[in-house]
Chains A and B, each alone.
Chain A
Amino acid sequence: MASIDYPLEHPKIHPREFSFSETLYAWVATVDHKRLGLMYIVSALIFLVIAGIMASVMRIQLAVPNNHFVDPDTFNRLFTMHGTTMVFLVGMPIVAGLSNYLVPLMIGARDMAFPRLNAFGFWIFLFGGLLLYYSYIGGSGLSGAGSAPDVGWFAYAPLTEKAFSRGASSDFWALGVMVSGFGSIASAINVIATTISLRCPGMTLSRMPVFVWVMLVDAWLILVALPPLSAAQIMLLLDRSLGANFFNTQAGGSAVLWQHFFWIFGHPEVYILIFPAFGTLSEIIPIFSRKPIFGRPAMVGAVVAIGFISLGVWAHHMFAVGMTSWSNTFFAASSMLVGVPTGIKIFNWTATMYGGKLRFATPMLFCCGFLLQFLVAGLTGIMLAVAPFDWQLHDSYFVVAHFHFTLIGGLVFGVFAGLYYWFPKATGRMLSEKLGKWHFWLFCIGFNMTFIPLHFAGMLGMPRRIYTYAAGRGWESWNMIASIGVIFQAAGILFFVWNVIQSLRFGERAGDDPWDAWTLEWATTSPPPEYNFEKLPVVRSSRPLWDLKHPQDPDWKFE
C-alpha cells in the first residue's frame, strides 16, 4: 500500500545531561503541548491528594455522632475547599491536561494551534489555584473574620454577601476560581483550533479518534458554559466591593438569580468533567477487547447530543426553590432525556467488549469499574431528575453519594484507566501491573464502601454539609462504614503514588506501542520527541495502526 506512509524510522535522540537550572528553565518556559499537558496532570494529581486529605478529615469528623474532631467553621471550610478544588483544580486541569497531551498526538500534529496561549492557560490556572489557597493566610482581610471560604462550592447568594461573609474569603473564592477558569477557556479555544485546523493528511472528522471528538465537544461546552460563571463572579465581586446589589437580598437583589447563573454553568460543568473519562474509555476498551469501537457514529452523536441537552437542564438543581410545576416538569424531562445518549454510550462500550478477547490489564480493570459504577450513578441521576422524588433527595447525602459515583466512580476511575494506559507513552516505562491491581481493588472496594452507605443515610433524612449530627437518627452505622471505606481508598492511592515513583525509575521499558494499539500516538517514540512525528503521518481510516499491522485486512476497505 504505497499511500500509507508512516514514520517507522524514528530519529535517534542522544540525550545529554542537563543541569537542574536548565531543566527547571526548560519546564517553566516550555510551550510544548506534552510538557504542559504533564504539568496540568501533575498539578491536578497534587490537588487531588490535598482534596482527598480534606475529605478524610471530614469523614473522621462524621464517623461518630457529636464528634469534636474539627470545629464547625473548619469543617465548613473543608467541604468548600474540597468541592472547589475537586471541580476547578482537579477536574478542569485533567480535561486540559489530557487533551493537551493527547489531541495533537492522536491527530498527527506537531503541537497545539497556539502554543504560547497554551502555556498562558496552564500558568494562569495554577495561579488561580494558588490564589484560592492563599485565602488560608489572607482570607481574614482587615475585619479579621474567617480564613478560607466557607460558603460551599456553589457559593449560594446571599451567604456570600458582605453581611454574611465578612473578611476576604469569598473574594478569594470568586477571584481564584475565575482566574483559573480563564486558563480553561484558553485551553478550550486551543483544542477547538487544533482539531479544526491541524489534523494530518487523511484525518477527516469521521476518522478522528473518539477521544478527540469528545474533547472537541468538551472544549465547546467549556467555551459556552464557563463565561456565565465568570460573569456571575464579577457581579458578586461588584456586590462585595463596589456596592452593587445583584445578589444582595437586603437591598432588593435576587438570591435565585445567582442560582440560575451558577447552574447554567454548573450543570454543563459536570459533563465537562466526565467527558475525559468518556474519551479514555472509548480508546481503551477497544484496545483491550481487540475490537473496533462499536457504533462509532452513534458514540460521537451521543457525545454531541449530551453536549446540547446538558445546556438545558440546569434548574434540576433548583426543584426546591419554588418554581412553577411547569418549570419543574420541563427541567425534569430534559434531565431524564440526557439519560438516553448516556445509555447509548454504556451500551456501545459493552457491545465493543461483547465478542472480543478481553485482557484485564489495569487500564481495563478501571474501565470495568467505571461501567458498573457509572451505571449506578446514571440511575440515581434518573431518580434525582424526577422532581417530586428530588424534593426528598435534594441536598441530602443521597445527592452526595450520587455525584461521587459520577465523579469518582466515573471520572476518577476513567482518569486512572487513562493514566495507566498512557503512562508508558509519556515516560517510556510501564507502570507495575502488580501494584496497579492492588491500587484498583483497594480503591474500588473503598470507594463503594464509602459511597453506597451514604445513599441510605440521605434517604433517612441526613442533609449534606452538616458538621455533626445527634445520635439516634439512624445515621450512625452508615456513616461509620463510609468512614472506614476511606482507609481502603487512601491505601489504594498510596499504591498508585508508590507505583508511579517506582516505575519512573525501574519500570519495564515500554517501547513505542506496548498495548498493540491502533491510534497515531503509538506510532511515535515513547516519550515522543518535541516535534512528535518526524514526518507527518497520512491516514486512510480511523485505525491507522491497524491498517499498518494488517495490510491484508485494512479498515479503509470497510469504511
Chain B
Amino acid sequence: MIVHALAALLQTQVPGLPEHRVANIFKPLASPAQSEYEIAVFVIAITTVIFVVVGGLIVFTIVRFRRRPSDDTRQEPPQVYGSNQIEVAWTVIPILIVFVLIGVTARITAGVQNASPPASTVKVTVIGHQWWWEVVYPDFGLTTANEIHVPASPDGKTATYLTLRSMDVIHSFWVPQLSGKTDLIPNRDNFLWIDPKEAGIYLGNCAEYCGTQHANMLLRVIAHPPGDFEKWMAEQQKPAEQNPQMTEAKAMFESLSCINCHTVKGTPAVGKFGPDLTHLMSRETIGAGVLTNTAENLRNWINDPQVAKPGCYMPSMKLTDQELGQVVSYLESLK
C-alpha cells in the first residue's frame, strides 16, 4: 500500500517539475554549459566589435567615395598601389586577436574536457539506437529508455557521468542548457558529465543526422530535487507490476511478437531491440518524445506507430480491437 501511495506521489511530482522547453544556450544550467556560455559571450563580444569597426569602415567607404553626378568621369582618382605599413598593421592586429582567442579556447577546452567531476556521481550509459535512446544505470542494474533521470546538483556536489555509445549509426547527445553536444559513435566510448543546477525537465535532440526519424529522436533529462532521485530509482528497480486482474491481458501481450523486441522484467518478454517497458507508465512520453504518454496516444501508437513516426522500426502489428485493448490495458498496468 505504502509503495502504491509513494508511486502515486511520484506520478504527481514528476510532471510538476518545471519543463525547460526552450533550450537556449545562453541560459545554461549546468557546469559545462556554463563554461561554454562564458566563452561564447567573450567571443561574441570580440566579434561584435570587429563587425562594427570593419563593417562601419566598409559602409563609410561605400557612402563617402560614391561617384557623384558632379564628378568628371574622365578624371581618374589618384592611383594608390598599396602600403606596406598598412598591410603589416592589419596583419599583426588580427594575429594578436587570434592569439588571445586561442589562449582562451585552450583553457576552456581543457577545463571542460579534463575537469574532474564532483566526488559523488551517478553513472549512466546512454546507448543510441535508430531513433531512440537506451538508458542504462550500471550501478543499479537498471535499464530504461528515452528519459534520463538524474539528481539535480544545486550545491555542485552531485554530478552525472554519461558514457555515450551507439548500437548502429552515429548519434549526438545535445541538451543545450546542460552541455554542448558529444557524439555517440559505434565501437567507441565517449564521455560527458552534467550537474543540473535546478531540478526540472531539460529538452534536447539528437544532433547528428542518423536516418529517417532523426527529427523525432528527442531527449528529456529529468533532474530530480535532492533525495527524489533515490526514490525514483527504488521504484524503477522493482520488477514489473503483477496485477492479478491483468492475467488475461498479460497472456495476450506475451503471445504476441511484442516480446521479441521489448523487455518487461520478470516476464518472458526479454527482447532487446526496442525500449524496456518494465515501468512504461512512469514515462512522460512515448516514441522517444514524439507523443505524450496518454491512454489515447498509447493506443494509437500501438495500433500503428508509422502514423506518428513514419519510418520507425516498430511495425504496425495489425492487432484486432480486442487484442489492442488488452495490450494497452496490460501496458497501462506497468506503472
Contact = CB atoms under 8 A, between A and B. Distances in A.
B39 A389 contact: yes
A291 B58 CA distance: 16
Contact of A386 (B43, B54, B65, B204): B43
B183 A322 contact: yes
Contact of A336 (B101, B168, B170, B212): B101
A395 B174 CA distance: 10
Interface in B20-49: 21-26, 32-33, 35-36, 39-40, 43-44, 47
Interface in A262-298: 289-292, 294-298
A390 B33 CA distance: 12
Contacts of B105: 329, 332-333, 336, 385-388
Interface in B148-170: 168-170
Contact of A474 (B22, B57, B71, B190): B22
B98 A337 contact: yes
Contact of B62 (A250, A291, A320, A368): A368
A73 B186 contact: no
Given A291-B77, A467-B215, A461 B25 contact: yes
A156 B78 CA distance: 54
A468 B82 contact: no
A465 interface: yes
A367 B66 CA distance: 14
A294 B77 contact: no
A332 B108 contact: no
Contact of A356 (B65, B98, B187, B212): B65
Contact of B181 (A72, A289, A351, A394): A394
Contact of B65 (A289, A392, A395): A289
A552 B24 CA distance: 64
Given A164-B211, A291-B79, A336-B98, A321 B183 contact: yes
B24 A392 contact: no
Nearest to A73: B212
Q: Which of A346, A386, A393 counts the most chain B CB atoms within 10 A?
A: A386
B90 to A, nearest CB: 5
Interface string A510-525: 0000000000000000
B62 A459 contact: no
A79 B225 CA distance: 42
Interface stretch (A204-212, A252-260, A442-450, A499-507): A252-260
A255 B186 contact: yes
A322 B185 contact: yes
A392 B43 CA distance: 13
B76 to A, nearest CB: 5
A184 to B, nearest CB: 25
Given A347-B90, A466-B205, A467-B215, A332 B102 contact: yes
A550 B180 CA distance: 60
B243 to A, nearest CB: 33
Contact of A473 (B22, B90, B112): B22
B137 to A, nearest CB: 22
Contacts of A465: 209, 214-215
A72 to B, nearest CB: 5
Contacts of B83: 294-295
Contact of A339 (B82, B98, B179, B215): B98
Nearest to A542: B81
Contacts of B24: 459-461, 474
A459 B25 contact: yes
Contacts of A356: 65, 77
Interface residues of B, number: 88
B207 interface: yes
B251 interface: no
Nearest to A347: B90
Contacts of A292: 79-81
Interface stretch (A132-140, A168-176, A236-244, A369-377): A369-377
Interface string A320-361: 111011001100110011011001101110110111111110
B5 interface: no
B100 to A, nearest CB: 10
A350 B64 CA distance: 12
B215 A322 contact: no
Nearest to B186: A249
A346 B90 CA distance: 10
B113 interface: yes
B107 to A, nearest CB: 9
Interface string B208-252: 111111111000000000000000000000000000000000000
B40 A329 contact: no
Contact of A350 (B25, B58, B114): B58
A322 B174 contact: no
B188 interface: yes
Contact of A461 (B23, B58, B112): B23
B261 interface: no
Given A358-B62, A461-B25, A463-B205, A372 B310 contact: no
A247 B156 CA distance: 41
Interface string B81-110: 111001100110011001001101110111
Nearest to B91: A344
A372 to B, nearest CB: 6
A104 interface: no
B67 interface: yes
A550 B104 CA distance: 53
A473 B21 contact: yes
Nearest to B59: A372
A183 interface: no
Given A332-B105, A340-B98, A461-B25, A159 B210 contact: yes
A72 B67 contact: no
Given A295-B82, A354-B65, A72 B102 contact: no
A72 B213 contact: yes
A159 B114 contact: no
B51 interface: yes
B127 interface: no
B329 interface: no
8 contacts: A333-B102, A355-B77, A386-B40, A390-B180, A392-B33, A395-B208, A460-B25, A473-B22
10 nearest A-B residue pairs (beta carbon): A391-B180, A461-B23, A466-B215, A249-B186, A295-B82, A474-B22, A322-B190, A379-B47, A325-B113, A465-B209
